[in-house]
């Protein structure tokens, strides 16, 4: 059996699948879990490469508690008929889910099933990892992450979920949070003297 921390992070999330993409090019870099259904992977690639569906999917990852079509229109524009058409297509192929609520007027609530997060390419990841360690910690981005965690202290978040909410690439989120485990980094940084969050790590064996 092999231990895979990333697979565990995907399972501990409320999302069924996590998709990593390059923030600059928009190209998809990886999927979790690794053994994602081929038909679902094909549909993710198909709709991610279309502008309107991609904007809907990205916005839903930020507002993952669910939003209405008018709210989506406020953020990404386009006519309601165009949005309804794209939302219907995304629901049919299983990339989003919808439900009806009855609070005053009847409303359709749209929620994501797939988490899309930005990630640096291998070369950029190596550079930013080096620069975000030791004396060069990006305290501004670290503070953004901590502010998010403090404002949502009633639940745990995976690095992927933090990335989607803050707009910081997931590999940088992991590096910046890991800095609090480094006694050297904390010794030299006034910003990181006290650890302001609780960390929970889980591991799960996967079959051969």
pLDDT tens-digit map of 2-22: 334 444 444 444 677 889 998
Tell me the pairing of strands 105-112 and 2-3: unpaired
Q: Are 93 and 42 spatial neighbours (Cβ–Cβ below 8 Å)?
A: no
Angle at the Cα of 64 from the Cα atoms of 163 and 108, rounded to 5 degrees: 160
Q: Are 95 and 42 spatial neighbours (Cβ–Cβ below 8 Å)?
A: no
Rounded CA separation 165/188 (Å): 29
pLDDT at 128 over 50: no
Residue with the bigger pLDDT between 146 and 206: it is 146
Kindly report, residue by residue over 140-182, the tens digit of the pLDDT: 888 888 888 888 888 888 888 888 888 888 888 888 887 766 6
Kindly report, residue by residue over 73-96, the tens digit of the pLDDT: 999 989 999 999 999 999 999 999
* Per-residue pLDDT band at 197 (split at 50, 70, 90): low
What DSSP letter does each residue of 142-185 carry, written as one string? HHHHHHHHHHTTTS---HHHHHHHH---HHHHHHHHHGGG-HHH
**Would you state the pLDDT for residue 137?**
53
For domain 2-115, the CATH class is: mainly alpha
pLDDT at 200 over 90: no
* Token pair in block for residue 16: 């069924």
Rounded CA separation 162/160 (Å): 5
Give how far the C-alpha of residue 2 lies from the chain's centroid of Cα atoms, to the nearest Å.
Answer: 24
Which backbone phi and psi does 35 adopt, to 5 degrees? -95, 40
Residue with the bigger pLDDT between 50 and 179: it is 50
Residue with the bigger pLDDT between 139 and 53: it is 53
Per-domain boundaries in the chain: 2-115, 119-206
């Amino acid at each position: 059996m092999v231990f895979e921390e990333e697979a565990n992070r995907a399972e501990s999330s409320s999302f069924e699948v996590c998709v990593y993409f390059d923030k600059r090019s928009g190209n998809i870099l990886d999927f979790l879990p690794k053994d994602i259904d081929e038909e679902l992977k094909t549909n993710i690639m198909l709709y991610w490469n279309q502008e309107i569906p991609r904007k809907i999917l990205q916005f839903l990852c930020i507002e993952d508690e669910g939003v209405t079509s008018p709210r989506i229109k406020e953020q990404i524009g386009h006519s309601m008929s165009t949005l309804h058409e794209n939302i219907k297509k995304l629901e049919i192929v299983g990339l989003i889910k919808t439900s009806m609520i009855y609070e005053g007027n009847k409303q359709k609530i749209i929620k994501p099933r797939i988490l899309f997060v930005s990630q640096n390419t291998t070369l950029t990841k190596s550079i930013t990892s080096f620069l975000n360690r030791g004396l060069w910690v990006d305290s501004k981005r670290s503070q953004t992450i901590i502010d998010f965690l403090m404002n949502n202290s009633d639940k745990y978040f995976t690095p992927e979920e933090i990335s989607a909410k803050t707009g910081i690439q997931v590999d940088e989120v992991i590096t910046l949070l890991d800095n609090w485990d480094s006694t050297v980094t904390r010794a030299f940084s006034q910003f990181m003297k006290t650890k302001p969050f609780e960390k929970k790590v889980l591991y799960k064996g996967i079959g051969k």
